[in-house]
Amino acid sequence: MRRRTLLQASAGALTFFFTSRVSAAPIEPTRPGAYAEDFNAYLKISADGRVGCFVGKTELGQGAMTVLAMLVAEELELDPAQVDMLLGDTDLCPWDLPTGGSLTMWHTAPVLRGAAAEARAVLLGLAAKALGASAAELAMKDGAIWVKAAPTRRTTFGALVQGRKLARHLGKVKPKPLAECTVIGRRFLRKDALAKTTGAAKYAGDLRLPGTLHACILRPPAQGLKLATADTTAAERIPGVRIVRDGTLLAVLHPQPDTARKALALVKGTFEGTEPDVDDARIYQHLVDKAATGQRVMNSRGDLAAGEKRAATVVEAEYRNAYESHATLEPHTSVAKWEDGRMTVWASNQSPFVFRDSVAEALKLDKDKVRIITPFVGGGFGGKLVGPNAIEAARIARQVPGVPIQLAWNREEDLFLDGYRPAAVVKLRAGLDAGRGAITFWDSVVAGVSQGEAEFTYEFQTSRYQAPAVPDLHPLKVGAWRAPNAHTNAFARESQLDALAAKAGMDPVTLRRRLATDPRLLHLLDLALEAFGWEPAPGPTGRGIGLACGAWRQAMVVAVAQVAVDKATGKVQVLRFLEAVDVGLVVNPDGARQQVEGAITMCLGQALSEEIHFKGSRILDKNFDTYLLPRFSAIPRIQVVFAENTGMATQGIGEPPVVPVAAALANAVFDATGARVTHVPFTPERVLEALKRLPAK
Amino acid sequence: MAMTKFTLNGRPVEVTSERSRMLVWVLRDELGLTGTKVGCEAGLCGACTVLVDSEAVPSCSTSLGDVAGKSVLTIEGLTVDGKLDPVQQAFQDHHAFQCGYCTSGMILAAWAFLKKKPKATRAEIVAAMEGNICRCGAHVRILDAVETAGKAMGGVR
């Protein structure tokens, strides 16, 4: 409701906050690639005193809308409910980076908070003049400013701003010190709570623009094939059907979405192109062979051969990841409209400005001829960082001027067209010294992903990290999946450390303590063990408890899992999962907790069940009957503990809790059974295989 | 054109869609009620869950003909005079959602279950919600919310 009010106000006769440049274009152009320096770009106060906040992020479900409002509320002494958020509109919001990579709290939050701090100082200055007092004598709360000693001498944001066209900028103003903060660290109702629990929240597919035609696109049977010929005769017999072609894109349009889909089924197409000779079993050798043509040493420390000679315990192992889909519950969806030489796309997306630029490029339009508007987004996880769906919608809309085109991929298309978490092979060789206190060498060769976050705050005497610089390594389309590279490398590293500890007859925590170089890690290990109530012992103990560590930028996480393994079926049931998390200052504790709970839960699927099955470039998974997401019966008891580290800048929390999940589970499976699972996901079949490899007792 | 009558959120409606049309499209396309979401179109994810005579069904796999003469409740019908239903209230209080795309279906599935069994055990709630997928991982909060709502609906164990 507030969102609509704000939209109308923005387009209408609103007096904008301290700007001398009120015009049809409400935001002065900002340099792409740089955050707006003028706080007016982010904050506007309407005549009634409400504060509007404009940010180029999107609400994917992670709570950006709420936590950003909290920062503005903090500086302007408001309740977050008093801040109207408008996210992800490239005409109305200043440029921003994508909503991904845990960047919202890392990059955007300090900028927005700084803008709000500056606005606070400007408002206090204006109020001081209006009330005949010094700024230090004033108090601010709920949009009012008054003289502390004489509360009847008061004014409001609305009164101060109304009718003024001021451009006062004080430059960098320090945010409030933490001790004076009243919003940061508290729980507030999520700003999207009412809309999402009443069905009022609008996603791209929920827009009902008059005259909308629903589009369905003819897809090839395999990735990479192109449309050669098409026979649309039968489809065109259905009343209301229109066919649009743009190069190899063929779409069936109809006023009803289900009729468009039925009509598409009547279109006969032929396709050309070749499929790769690979499948979901042979992909790993494919990656290793292809990567070998261009492996590069990315980082090297010390004399590896000399380190190996010092090793008393050596483990050599290969860790695999299957392709995995983002599988957002809302499939990729856009509505595009070409009108008056401008393309407007309401898109389910994580990166409005990337979408704007890629739509402009695809249609050979100037960037300012494209506008991306972002409704609520039904999940992202990295899958909506790029905009093939929006580009397709725009290409179709370009052919039918004035007609809104809705393009909602169905589940099969979503699984087929996604850019997957890359399949990968991490080969590790590493050794532990006789004193069991030092890793003497660590040799990592990665195929399929980069060496990103392969290193951690462990001291290794010698190490070498190799990763391929080979184009077109993957036969399928890949993309960024929550904590990309990091979770793949952490799975390998943390499994390998456990294997070394077990082989050397020591417990897995003591080894990590001896290797740790950062006291934050030691603290997190203490927190995790105490909260879990776990006395580590050399594995396998049969208790089914495993631990793993991981990092994303400066954020650090320790995960502890407890599992039960059915040795007859290979099924892994997760009983408990705990994460101890250090992401610096936690602004929204409940929101942060949600992200950790969500990451743990999502990664149960990553670790145990989610895998894209394929032959050539044909994707065999069409729906959730074979692509298996975690359901309620898979959910363990979840515990989250935050390190009190208010001195470190907020790191963001979408990625960090993902990083160690699969490794903690694999280590727990080892502790339960003595069998090491090295292939993500460790499905019942793979667990049984691992159990079979155990030497007979 | 043949009309089909049913009760929607307590009011009688007549719609023109063919009887073979799936209910989700009748609701979203003909009637403009977009709170019911489309997730898989195969009855596998529960995002399109609605209540037909108080039973939770996937509206993507339920035809208009199936609900002729029956009573359909969607998420839009759960709020009466601006007052949230106890299940909606519990989902809000627990923040039992992230992206929100599964939430309508979750709330309605929980509602149908709790009407029958407000004093359910955690294991029974898990079994009742098994057909609904949440991708963001709000499961623990959803289970907590269903427990809370059960208590509010008179089911103290």
Residues of A in contact with B47 (CB under 8 A): 329
Answer yes or no: is pLDDT of A23 > 60. no
Give the per-residue pLDDT at A468.
93
> pLDDT at position A605, please?
98
Strands A313-321 and A679-680: parallel
Q: Does A260 share its domain with A290?
A: no
Q: How far is CA A571 from the centre of its chain?
A: 29
A538 and A392 share a domain? no
Strands A370-373 and A342-347, sheet pairing: parallel
Contact A415, A623 (CB under 8 A): yes
Residue A33 reports pLDDT greater than 90: no
Question: Is there a single domain that holds both residue A441 and residue A393?
Answer: no
B chain contacts of residue A193, beta-carbon cutoff 8 Å: 92, 95, 97
Specify whether the CB–CB gap between A72 and A588 falls below 8 A.
Answer: no
User: pLDDT value at position A176?
Assistant: 95
Alpha carbon A371 to chain centroid, angstroms = 23
Q: A314 and A253 in one domain? A: no
**Least confident span in A35-44, A449-458, A674-683:** A35-44
Query: Is 70 exceeded by the pLDDT of residue A14?
Result: no
Alpha-carbon distances of A34 from A95, A111, B67, rounded to whole Å:
7, 11, 55
Judge if ipTM > 0.90: yes
pLDDT of A27 > 50? The answer is no
The minimal CB distance from A329 to the residues B33, B47, B126 is found for B47
Q: Within this chain, do residues A141 and A249 fall inside the same structural domain, yes or no?
A: no
CB A192 within 8 A of CB B100: yes
User: Is residue A10's pLDDT more than 80?
Assistant: no
The answer to whether B127 contacts chain A (CB < 8 Å) is yes
Q: Are A594 and B102 in contact (CB < 8 Å)?
A: no
The residue-averaged pLDDT of A45-60 equals 92
- Is pTM beyond 0.90? Reply is yes
Which residue shows structure tokens 């019966």?
A: A633
Q: Does B138 contact A201 at a Cβ distance shorter than 8 Å?
A: no
Q: Is the same domain home to A484 and A557?
A: yes
Domains of chain B: 4-77 (3.10.20.30), 86-152 (1.10.150.120)
pLDDT at A426: 98
Closest CB to A625 among B25, B44, B84: B44
Residue A646: how many other CB atoms lie within 10 Å: 13
Helices (H), A184-292: 193-198, 233-236, 257-264, 283-292
Alpha carbon distance A9, B91 (integer Å): 31
Cross-chain residue pair A329–B102, CB shorter than 8 Å: yes
Option in B45, B84, B137 nearest A599 (CB): B137
DSSP state of A484: T
pLDDT digits (tens, 9 = 90+) for A619-636: 999 999 999 999 999 999
Confidence at residue A279, expressed as pLDDT on a 0 to 100 scale: 98
Q: Answer for the pair A198, B35: CB distance below 8 angstroms, yes or no.
A: yes
Q: Of A376, A408, A440, which one is at a domain's C-terminal end?
A: A408
Q: How many CB atoms lie within 10 A of CB A210?
A: 5
CA distance to partner chain A, nearest, from residue B12 (Å): 21
- Asked if the C-beta of B18 comes within 8 angstroms of chain A's C-beta atoms, the answer is no
Same-domain status, A515 and A612: yes
How would residue A668 be classed by pLDDT, with cut points 50, 70 and 90?
very high
* Residues of chain B found within 8 Å of residue A265, distances taken between Cβ atoms: none
Residue of chain B minimizing CA distance to A482: B136
In this complex, which of B21, B74, B135 lies closest to A327 when CB atoms are compared?
B135
Q: Nearest to residue A331, comparing CAs of A248, A418, A448, A261?
A: A418
Describe chain B by its helix, strand, coil percentages, rounded to 5.
40, 15, 45
Q: First vs last Cα of chain B: how many Å apart?
A: 52
Q: How is residue A131 written in tokens?
A: 């009330």
pLDDT band at A581; cut points 50, 70, 90: very high
Q: Cα A241 to chain center, whole Å?
A: 38
Give the range of the structural domain holding residue A52, as residue numbers without chain letter.
Answer: 2-198
Does a structural domain hold residue A277? no
Cross-chain Cβ contact B102/A200 below 8 Å: no
- A602 vs A599: CA distance, rounded Å: 5
How far A631 CA lies from chain B's nearest CA (Å)?
6
B-interface mutation test, from A329, A332, A333, A349, most B Cβ less than 10 A away: A329
Tell whether A393 and A491 lie within a shared domain.
no
Which residue in chain A has the smallest CA separation from B91?
A: A197
Interface test with A, best of B9, B38, B132 (most A CBs within 10 A): B38
A370 forms bridges with which residues in the sheet? Answer: A343
Question: Does residue A540 have a cis bond before it (omega within 30 degrees)?
Answer: yes
A473 and A442 within one domain: yes
- As a whole-number percent, the residues of chain A with pLDDT over 90 amount to 90
Candidates A198, A209, A213, A350: best to mutate against B (most CBs of B within 10 A) is A198
Cβ neighbours of A63 in B, within 8 Å:
98
Q: Residue A182: which residues within 8 A CB-CB, separation 6 or more? A: A74, A77
- Residues of A with Cβ-Cβ distance to B39 under 8 angstroms: 329-331, 411
Supply the CATH number for residue A251's domain: 3.30.365.10
Q: Are residues A173 and A265 in the same domain?
A: no
Cα–Cα distance, A459 to A449 (Å, whole number): 23
Q: Show which of A408, A432, A463 is a domain's final residue.
A: A408
DSSP assigned state of A179:
G
Nearest residue to A579 via CA among A553, A561, A603: A561
The answer to whether the beta carbons of residues A467 and A446 sit under 8 Å apart is yes
The verdict on residue A588 lying in a domain is yes
CB pairs under 8 A between A and B: 159
Q: Is residue A540 part of a domain?
A: yes
Copy the structure tokens of residue A647.
């001195």
CA distance A125 to A233: 71
| Number of domains forming the structure of chain A | 3
Q: A575 in helix, strand or coil?
A: strand
Query: Where among A348, A374, A408 does a domain terminate?
Result: A408
Continuous segment of H or E residues that includes residue A487: helix A486-503
Higher per-residue pLDDT: A8 or A257: A257
Q: How confident is the model at residue A12 (pLDDT cuts 50, 70, 90)?
A: very low
List of chain B residues whose C-beta atoms are within 8 Å of the C-beta of residue A206: 28, 34
Distance CA A64, CA A292 (A): 41
**End-to-end distance of chain A based on CA atoms, in angstroms?**
67
With a cut of 90, say whether residue A658 has pLDDT above it.
yes
Query: Do the domain assignments include residue A188?
Result: yes
User: Is A383 contained in some domain?
Assistant: yes
Using an 8 Å CB-CB cutoff, list chain B residues near A331: 38-39
**A378 to B129: CB separation less than 8 angstroms, yes or no:** no
Tell me: the pLDDT tens digits for A131-161? 999 999 999 999 999 999 999 999 999 999 8
Q: How close, in Å, is residue B140 to chain A by CA atoms? A: 7
More confident call, B1 vs A261 = A261
CB contact under 8 A, B88 and A197: yes
Alpha-carbon distance of A300 to A303, in angstroms, equals 9
- C-alpha to C-alpha distance for A511 and A615, rounded to whole angstroms: 42
Chain A residue numbers with beta carbons less than 8 Å from the beta carbon of B82 are: none
> How does the average pLDDT of chain A come out, rounded?
93
Query: Across residues B20-37, what is the average pLDDT?
Result: 98
Assign 3-class secondary structure to A318-337: EEEECCECCCCCCCCEEEEE
* Confidence at residue A48, expressed as pLDDT on a 0 to 100 scale: 82
Given this model, what pLDDT does residue B155 score? 61
- Report yes or no: B104 at the A interface, CB cutoff 8 Å: yes
What residues contact A471, with CB distance under 8 A and at least 6 apart? none
Quick one: closest CA in B to A599, which residue?
B137
User: Contact A508/A667 with Cβ under 8 angstroms?
Assistant: yes
Please report, for residues A196, A396, A436, the alpha-carbon distance to residue A503 in angstroms, rounded to integers and kept in the order given: 51, 60, 11
* A328/B99 touch (CB, cutoff 8 Å), yes or no: yes
Q: Within a domain: residue A600?
A: yes
pLDDT of residue A26 exceeding 80, the answer is no
Give the DSSP letter string of A130-176.
HHTS-GGGEEEETTEEEETTEEEEEEEHHHHHTT----------PPP
CB contact under 8 A, A202 and B34: yes
| For range A244-261, the mean pLDDT | 98
Tell me if the bond preceding A681 is cis, omega within 30° of 0. yes
Which of A196, A257, A600 minimises the CB distance to B100? A196
Min Cα distance A200 → chain B (Å) is 6
- B-chain residues near A198 (CB < 8 A): 35, 75-76, 78-79, 84, 88
Q: Give the nearest partner residue to A597 out of B36, B91, B137, using CB atoms.
A: B137
Contact A330 B99 (CB under 8 A): yes
Chain B partners of A203 at a C-beta cutoff of 8 Å?
A: 37, 101
Backbone Cα Rg of chain B: 15
Mean pLDDT within A159-164: 76
| Distance of alpha carbon A319 from alpha carbon A492, whole angstroms | 6
- Looking at residue B153, its pLDDT comes to 87
Q: Which residues of A touch B103 (CB under 8 A)?
A: 196-197
Residue A3 has pLDDT above 80, yes or no: no
Q: Which residue of A has its CA nearest to B142?
A: A632
Closest CA in chain A for residue B132: A631
Q: Does some domain include residue A414?
A: no
Closest CB from A208, A378, A408 relative to B99? A378
Q: What is the mean pLDDT of residues A456-461?
A: 96
Chain B residues with CB inside 8 Å of A256's CB?
25, 29
Q: How confident is the model at residue A323 (pLDDT cuts 50, 70, 90)?
A: very high
Distance from CA of B91 to the nearest CA of A (A): 7
User: What pLDDT, on a 0 to 100 scale, did the predictor assign at position A644?
Assistant: 92
Choose between A8 and A109: higher pLDDT. Answer: A109
A185 touches A586 (CB < 8 A): yes
Task: Answer yes or no: do A244 and A224 share one domain.
Answer: yes
A75 and A111 inside one domain = yes
CA nearest to A636 within chain B: B140
Note the pLDDT of residue A16.
30
Q: Which residues of B touch A327 (CB under 8 A)?
A: 135
The answer to whether residues A682 and A661 touch, using CB atoms and an 8 Å cutoff, is no
Dihedral class, residue A561 (left if φ above 0, else alpha if ψ from -120 to 50, else beta): beta
Beta bridge partners of A551: A556
Which residues sit opposite A141 in a β-bridge? A144
Give the model's pLDDT for residue A697: 66
Rounded Cα distance, B126 and B106, in Å: 12
